[in-house]
Structure 1
């Protein structure tokens, strides 16, 4: 047994395989690139020994070996297949790092890793231990159908997460708004759900299957500047071009809104009571909407008072007198609410 020419290669492969595992753990998670290089180097060395010794990892020809020698032959093949899986995963991770993929690509990477481990596990059982792979595959298919029926919602979240990852409608850090009004910054995107951090400092967890079915607006693309529309009603006793000039001056004096492109004032309508103007301005991000709107309202109020402009009452403050018998109704203006912007 000692003189068997295959014994030394099996011993070397086992030593390299165990040493690779030890060195891989000693590298720590803080050095992912070094970890991957170690995996690839040890796998290359094990493959070279197998090649020079004429040993096939997918076929067991050493039927004459018994006892400890047979154990070394089996363990060396198991270690080789294990390091093959790690080296393949290492190539996948290096590719994703070098390609500068976004953080949400982690989901797609995890799926590839799962497929690699499954394939290697089946290869070990079939090529090393001689288990019937066909029967295992058939059994696995039946089990997969049963699990698929039992985990429909989970699998729906999983594949929806894959679709969102490949489609990339948003990235980590983007601010999105859903059709139902929910909005927030994307802080996490995993295989099952997407987490949004709202303005109220709450985390909303959205299942990927739900997120894939609703319409969403990415407020961070093409950039995070966000446009706001604000309606102002000025009394119709004033000249429209004066109203426009005063409101534009008020916008230009604001410091919390974007001045490039410049804000604008649009006169939308006029009647016997009010001139309706729409203020259009941008803020640096969705989170700045409230303080920017507050500043705009403050500046509009200040400039209107300095220029002698008065606000018109809102439409809901109009009252209609009840008609007397045989007479047409007469409109009247009441004072249920004070003038508002």
Structure 2
């Protein structure tokens, strides 16, 4: 339901203007005053335009406040932009009216001027409209940890008219134009819940049976601090390759900013477990190339080729 109290002031202004307009003839006759001239009439009409803009902005503000797309409130930015457009139209129309244009031509002229002004600041308008779209779609909130493809990764600290601001894990302040943010793929690590699953990979040689390697890595993963034990971490065999078996260590984190500390703790536990078991990581394959000394072809009386190891 629309609250009436915020509408009282603009309504009283419009009633006052209407009363002055209709009562000016009677007032001039009773008090022997000259009626309002053309400039006075134009000033009253401009005041009426501003009053209408004020009233409409209050009504639209209340209507937008009641809308909750995706169970989230409409961003205040949208209401501010609509109010600014209404007042700008009223001011431009009033100025054109004072300059001698009729009411219809003043409104039409204000539309043309607004179009030209919008073209001149089209980049700002694009960022602002993108900010409104981000507010309506709400792919992230203040405090969410996000990864905006190709632009930055960090915690959202501000969503403004033109820009979105991130604070990275290195305490670096990143300012991104909303028009660029809206065109990129966004990964939100804080929605719908703050916990998420991460994954690390490691390869062990064929000297260690796959089941034994998976059990050893699983035990190291369970002993690592910071990770969630429910859901339980697990180890999966990714592939059996010529130089070894590749494993995936999967685990759950409660917060995205703990990721680096968790990875460090897991690698320490895995290293300690491998050393206790006497298991070493497979060495990369070595390719043997043969380089002829002096560039000559080996033969009678010629030096033999010299092997060169290439990793």
Structure-1-length-normalised TM-score? 0.68
Deviation for aligned residue 1:332? 7.2
The aligned counterpart of 1:288 is: 258
The aligned counterpart of 2:120 is: 150
Work out whether residues 188 and 196 of structure 1, in 8 Å CA contact, stay in contact via their aligned partners in 2: yes
| Aligned partner (choices 18, 22, 25) of residue 63 of structure 1 | 25
CA distance in 2, matches of 1:86, 1:167: 28
CA distance in 1, matches of 2:241, 2:184: 40
CA distance in 2, matches of 1:331, 1:212: 53
| Aligned partner (choices 256, 262, 286) of residue 226 of structure 2 | 256
| Aligned partner (choices 169, 173, 179) of residue 199 of structure 1 | 169
The aligned counterpart of 1:278 is: 248
Q: Alignment length, in residue pairs?
A: 290
Work out whether residues 92 and 110 of structure 2, in 8 Å CA contact, stay in contact via their aligned partners in 1: no
Unaligned 5+ residue runs, structure 2?
292-296, 299-306
Work out whether residues 104 and 171 of structure 1, in 8 Å CA contact, stay in contact via their aligned partners in 2: no
CA distance in 2, matches of 1:299, 1:279: 12
Residues 259 and 333 from structure 1, CA distance in 2 versus in 1: closer, same or farther, beyond 3 angstroms? Answer: farther
| Superposed counterparts of 1:105-144, under 5 Å | 105-118=75-88, 121=91, 132-144=102-114
Work out whether residues 122 and 133 of structure 1, in 8 Å CA contact, stay in contact via their aligned partners in 2: no
The aligned counterpart of 1:22 is: none
1:26-50 deviation line (CA, Å, top 9, x unaligned)? xxxxxxxxxx986445556x38x95
Higher mean Cα deviation, 288-297 or 148-157? 148-157
Residues 81 and 272 from structure 1, CA distance in 2 versus in 1: closer, same or farther, beyond 3 angstroms? Answer: closer
1:184-204 deviation line (CA, Å, top 9, x unaligned)? 222222221211221121221
CA distance in 1, matches of 2:4, 2:236: 62
The aligned counterpart of 1:16 is: none
Unaligned 5+ residue runs, structure 1?
1-35, 335-341
Residues 268 and 188 from structure 1, CA distance in 2 versus in 1: closer, same or farther, beyond 3 angstroms? Answer: same
The aligned counterpart of 1:17 is: none
1:46-90 deviation line (CA, Å, top 9, x unaligned)? 38x959xxx84695442343569979x989998887676556544
Deviation for aligned residue 1:265? 0.6
Residues 99 and 212 from structure 1, CA distance in 2 versus in 1: closer, same or farther, beyond 3 angstroms? Answer: closer
Deviation for aligned residue 1:238? 1.5
Work out whether residues 128 and 178 of structure 2, in 8 Å CA contact, stay in contact via their aligned partners in 1: yes
| Superposed counterparts of 1:81-230, under 5 Å | 88-94=56-62, 105-118=75-88, 121=91, 132-180=102-150, 182-230=152-200
Q: Partner of 1:322: helix, strand, or coil?
A: strand
The aligned counterpart of 2:304 is: none
| Aligned partner (choices 265, 268, 286) of residue 319 of structure 1 | 286
Deviation for aligned residue 1:298? 0.8
1:281-307 deviation line (CA, Å, top 9, x unaligned)? 122222111001001101111222233
Q: Partner of 1:110: helix, strand, or coil?
A: helix
Task: Output the aligned Cα RMSD.
Answer: 4.2
Q: Partner of 1:260: helix, strand, or coil?
A: coil
CA distance in 2, matches of 1:58, 1:108: 34
Work out whether residues 226 and 282 of structure 1, in 8 Å CA contact, stay in contact via their aligned partners in 2: yes
Q: Partner of 1:154: helix, strand, or coil?
A: helix
